[in-house]
Amino acid sequence: MFFICRLNRNVHVIAAGKAVLGMVRATQDVLGDHIVGGIASVPYGIQETLKKSGKWEMIPKEQSSFQICEGAKNNAPDTNSLATSKKIHDLATSLQGSDIMLTLLSGGGSALLPLPKPPITLEEMREMVAIMVKHAATISDVNTVRKHTEVLKGGGLAYAAGNASVISLILSDIIGDPIDKIASGPTVTDFSKPETCMEIFRDLNVTDKIPKSIIKVVENEISEFSGHSALPVIREIYAHNVIVGNNKLAVSAANKAAEALGYRTFVLSTELCGEARDIGEIFAFFAGAIVDVVSGDKAKFDSKQRLEDSFGISENVINCVTSLAASALKYGERFCMLGAGETVVNLKGNGKGGRNGEIALSSALVFDLLSEKLRDYDINILSAGTDGQDGPTESAGAFSHTHLIQEAKEQNIDANTYLENNDTFHFFQKVSNGENLFVTGMTGTNVMDLHIMTVARKS
């Protein structure tokens, strides 16, 4: 698509997400008084957190016509983010053909831009998301439904802006950078069919639990579109959507930092997904497989076999990691394996935790299983959300190491009980006075989760 828009003190900024404050500031620095105003919908407390951590370069300059509105406690839409969404909708609809709507979006935008289609209420939207997430829905699935049930999602914001020129800069928090799903695609044409929502509910086995008003809106859309062929009626949207950052950038920076510290590095994948516990176990079994290769022992417990049989990791990948790590460790170097992505958790218990807590704790349980073989090695894992929040907890994630479970046992804390109850936050808070919890506060970015494992021989 090609369009021309003339920059002439006509830029209205609309921003929504956990990472957009720094983006607002950068656009202010570049565009100066071409920005005539705007609204940013951001999480509670983020301005104070960024100021406290000295990230002044991420704080927007004060401008009377620019409002920064905080909302969406615990990443769930609330009355504040709803009120902000209404203001944003009003601003978009007031724009003229000569205006530019510069939209800045990042993950978290979905909860910060809620405007349910009537008769759906805010409470019902919250309920739907909670049910889907509890049943391990991916964010892609949740946002597919949001696109069909909310006014500003699925291109709704750009549509509201009418003839104004729409340019969106998007920071990706979803595997594969799908621009129509990040923050539920407020400025992206939605090609998905409403039928898909019902298929998602069926696959998750939650159809009966979803509020009736939501089912009704989806069913109405299905019958409205049933007369048309393969695709629903597509709203015409003229927007220029650009991905400006994603987790590959974060992993590449972490990789460089590890190299600068002297580690031999390997990036397993930037698209890790599936059940969180599996990823924790995979990292720990990689450590086991590496140590098997270095020691040359016929392993009592074959980690390589486990990686292949239980997790379908190919022999090529395993050989590649283990030979690279072994060649480093044999010559006294340290090894670092990095990964990134976004997992899910099938919530069975009623504890407090997050994906990263589950990854850290499940890796520690495997380390414990392999403790005999790993005893001459220093092995650590950090699993954390780049946004600084691991689920509804006060931590970004947690560290795991080879003697964590033993340490817990000595403190009469049973790791399995905590993991089964999805209570990893309390596990890490309790063990050794919380020294393995990773607490950063909101970081001002949001490019999914990072997993880092270091392996070194004990000196």
Ligand X SMILES: Nc1ncnc2c1ncn2[C@@H]1O[C@H](COP(=O)(O)OP(=O)(O)O)[C@@H](O)[C@H]1O
Binding flags for ligand 3PG, 108-137, as an x/- string (CB under 6 A)? xxx---------------------------
Residues in the chain, overall count: 459
Is there a contact between 182 and 106 (Cβ–Cβ < 8 Å)? yes
HSE-up of 429 (CA within 13 Å, CB side)?
12
Helix (H, G, I), strand (E, B) or coil at 148: helix
User: Which residue lies nearer to ligand X by CB, 292 or 390?
Assistant: 390
Per CB under 6 A, the list member of 352, 373, 401, 451 interacting with ligand X is: 352
Structure tokens at 324: 């690279």
Rounded to 5 degrees, what angle do the CA atoms 232, 238, 242 make?
Answer: 105
Helix (H, G, I), strand (E, B) or coil at 362: helix
182 binds ligand 3PG (CB under 6 A): yes
Binding flags for ligand 3PG, 215-254, as an x/- string (CB under 6 A)? ----------------------------------------
358 binds, among ligand X, ligand 3PG, none (CB under 5 to 8 A by kind): ligand X
Nearest of 255, 323, 254, 256 to residue 293 by alpha carbon: 323
User: Which residue lies nearer to ligand X by CB, 128 or 237?
Assistant: 128
> Which of the ranges 101-109, 203-211, 422-430, 451-459 carries the binding residues for ligand 3PG, by CB under 6 A?
101-109
In this structure, the dihedral spanned by the alpha carbons of residues 179, 278, 318 and 372, taken in order and rounded to 10 degrees, is: 150
- Say how far residue 187 (Cα) sits from the centre of its chain: 20
344 binds, among ligand 3PG, ligand X, none (CB under 5 to 8 A by kind): ligand X
- How do 377-385 and 334-341 pair as beta strands? unpaired
Structure tokens at 289: 């497989």
User: Which residue lies nearer to ligand 3PG by CB, 19 or 369?
Assistant: 19
User: Which residue lies nearer to ligand 3PG by CB, 109 or 280?
Assistant: 109
183 binds ligand 3PG (CB under 6 A): yes
Pick out residues in 396-435 that bind ligand X (CB under 6 A).
422
Least distance to ligand X, CB of residue 138, Å: 9
> DSSP characters for 226-256?
TTSSSSPPPPP--EEEEEEE-HHHHHHHHHH
355 binds, among ligand X, ligand 3PG, none (CB under 5 to 8 A by kind): ligand X
Helix (H, G, I), strand (E, B) or coil at 258: helix
Per CB under 6 A, the list member of 152, 446, 449, 454 interacting with ligand 3PG is: 446
Least distance to ligand X, CB of residue 351, Å: 5
What's the count of helices (H) and strands (E) in the chain, helices before strands? 18, 12
Nearest of 26, 28, 33, 27 to residue 10 by alpha carbon: 33
Pick out residues in 368-397 that bind ligand X (CB under 6 A).
385, 387, 389-392
DSSP state of 102: E
Least distance to ligand X, CB of residue 452, Å: 17
**Which residues of the chain form contacts with ligand 3PG (CB under 6 A)?**
75, 107-110, 139, 143, 173-174, 182-184, 387, 446
What does the binding site for ligand X look like in residue numbers (CB under 6 A)? 75, 133, 139, 344-345, 347, 351-355, 358, 385, 387, 389-392, 422
